[in-house]
């Protein structure tokens, strides 16, 4: 789909329980004719999934395949990532959140008066989802933060923006070939490496004629997104989201600083009359909870806007 001022934002439509395609469709492959979008679980809100830094919509595949049995599900590529356009500028919180709102509307998740959507973001995507939840106001049924979105990044990492950016470079041997890159990603947890994980990993790199791979996320977009991420003020942002907020906490450090940051953001919301953040802890599981605990992540998302 095309958003102002003419940038193309790509998304995968995973369908829903009444019309579930064998494979998700993109915005370049809409259903024929003027058919209505796939229906969801009765009147329950549809779900929009937002990936994290240097990733794509495909990282959500293990969760999306499960969610679509109950709800209408869409996963988007943030600008500068995946198949979305990568303008040289325009990575502000306002524009990133506008892209999310545009996908929610353009995909049919928000199809009419009274319709609402559940927003889920992972890592940097949780920050973008929080910005979008504020913009959607009452049209956001719930906000789910998957291991991100509640921390001040400079405090949490002990780095400034430039130092953080330098740390994102992959070792040369990992980028030496597609086989080496995939082997590195598989080694994170061989027991969870499958076709979904390989598809998600392949979507994050481009193979050159020389056989090496380079990141698919454009360098200028990556830098701009990191700078936006470091400007994020979690307590201020989450204090103005009217919808219920659920946080999935993975791999808290030994000092418990991530949990304390989450408790602080929750206390600010509670003091403002919005209610605390519901926290689901995943102990020592890694950041990519969609890969390591897809069933549990799916269950939390389905209950985020209330039991049903």
Query: Does residue 297 lie in a domain region?
Result: yes
Which domain does 286 fall in, by range?
2-16+42-170+219-303
Residue 111 or residue 66, greater confidence = 66
Residue 61 lies in a domain: yes
Picking from 273, 270, 258, 308, the residue whose alpha carbon sits closest to that of residue 126 is 258
Higher pLDDT, 37 or 239: 239
Q: At 150, is the secondary structure helix, strand, or coil?
A: coil
Cα of first residue to Cα of last residue in the chain, in angstroms, is: 32
Q: Encode burial over 47-57: b for 16+ CB neighbours within 10 A, e otherwise.
A: bbbbbbbbbbb
Tokens coding 49:
């999934």
Q: Which residues pair with 121 in a beta bridge?
A: 50, 145
- Give the confidence band of 30 by pLDDT, cuts at 50, 70, 90: very low
Asked whether residue 267 is domain-assigned, the answer is yes
> Structural domain tally of the chain?
1
Query: Cβ atoms within 10 A of the Cβ of 306, count?
Result: 10
| Domain assignment of residue 210, yes or no | no
The whole-number pLDDT of residue 20 equals: 53
User: Whole-model pTM?
Assistant: 0.92
Give the model's confidence band at 40: pLDDT under 50 very low, under 70 low, under 90 confident, else very high.
very low
Evaluate whether residue 159 is within a structural domain. Answer: yes
Is 265 inside a domain boundary? Answer: yes
- The rounded distance, in Å, linking the Cα atoms of 1 and 99 is 10
Q: What is the pLDDT of residues 206-262, one digit of tens each?
A: 999 999 999 999 999 999 999 999 999 999 999 999 999 999 999 867 678 999 999
Read out DSSP for 25-68?
EETTSPPSTTPPPPP-STT--EEEEE--TT--GGGGHHHHHHHT
- The percent of residues in the chain predicted with pLDDT above 70, rounded, is 91
Instruction: Determine, yes or no, domain membership for 264.
Output: yes
Interacting residues of 217 by C-beta distance below 8 A, sequence separation 6+? 53, 54, 80, 81, 204
Give the pLDDT confidence of 287-303 residue by residue, as tens digits: 999 999 999 999 999 99
> Is residue 160 in some structural domain?
yes
pLDDT class of 26 with cuts at 50, 70, 90: low
For residue 141, how many other CB atoms are within 10 A of its CB?
21
* CATH number, residue 234: 3.40.50.1820
pLDDT band at 32 (very low <50, low <70, confident <90, very high): very low
Write the burial class of residue 158 (CB in 10 Å: 0-12 exposed, 13-18 middle, 19+ buried): exposed
User: What rounded mean pLDDT belongs to the chain?
Assistant: 91
The length of the chain is 308
Strands (E), the chain: 2-3, 7-8, 11-15, 25-26, 46-50, 73-76, 117-122, 140-146, 205-207, 213-215, 245-249, 278-281
pLDDT band at 94 (very low <50, low <70, confident <90, very high): very high
47 Cβ contact list (under 8 Å, min separation 6): 67, 71, 72, 73, 74, 109, 117, 118, 120, 301
Give the residue with greater pLDDT, 37 vs 204. 204
308 near 41, Cβ under 8 Å? yes
Find the helix or strand (DSSP H, E) in which 263 lies.
Answer: helix 257-271
Mean pLDDT of 67-72: 96
Task: Give yes or no for residue 34 having a pLDDT over 70.
Answer: no
């Amino acid at each position: 789909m095309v958003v102002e001022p003419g940038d193309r934002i790509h998304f995968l439509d995973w369908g829903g329980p009444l019309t579930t395609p064998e494979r998700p469709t993109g915005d370049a492959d809409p259903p024929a004719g003027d058919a209505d979008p796939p229906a969801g679980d009765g009147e329950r809100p549809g779900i929009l999934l937002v990936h994290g830094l240097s990733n794509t919509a495909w990282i959500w595949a293990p969760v999306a395949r499960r969610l679509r049995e109950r709800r209408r599900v869409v996963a988007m590529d943030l600008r500068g990532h995946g198949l979305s356009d990568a303008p040289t500028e325009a990575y502000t919180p306002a524009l990133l959140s506008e892209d999310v709102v545009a996908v929610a509307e353009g995909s049919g998740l928000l199809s009419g008066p009274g319709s609402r959507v559940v927003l889920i973001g992972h890592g940097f995507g949780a920050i973008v989802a929080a910005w979008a939840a504020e913009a959607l106001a009452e049209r956001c049924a719930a906000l789910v933060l998957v291991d991100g979105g509640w921390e001040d990044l400079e405090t949490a990492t002990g780095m400034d923006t430039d130092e953080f950016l330098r740390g994102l470079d992959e070792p040369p041997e990992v980028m030496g070939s597609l086989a080496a890159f995939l082997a590195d990603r598989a080694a994170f947890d061989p027991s969870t490496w499958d076709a979904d994980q390989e598809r998600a990993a392949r979507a994050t790199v481009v193979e050159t004629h020389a056989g090496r791979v380079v990141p698919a996320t454009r360098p200028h977009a990556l830098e701009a997104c990191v700078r936006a991420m470091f400007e994020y003020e979690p307590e201020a942002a989450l204090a103005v989201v009217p919808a219920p907020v659920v946080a999935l906490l993975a791999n808290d450090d030994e000092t418990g600083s991530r949990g304390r940051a989450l408790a602080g953001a929750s206390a600010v919301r509670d003091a403002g009359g919005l209610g605390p953040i519901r926290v689901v802890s995943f102990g020592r599981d890694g950041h990519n909870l969609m890969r390591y605990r897809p069933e549990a992540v799916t269950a939390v998302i389905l209950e985020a806007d209330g039991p049903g």
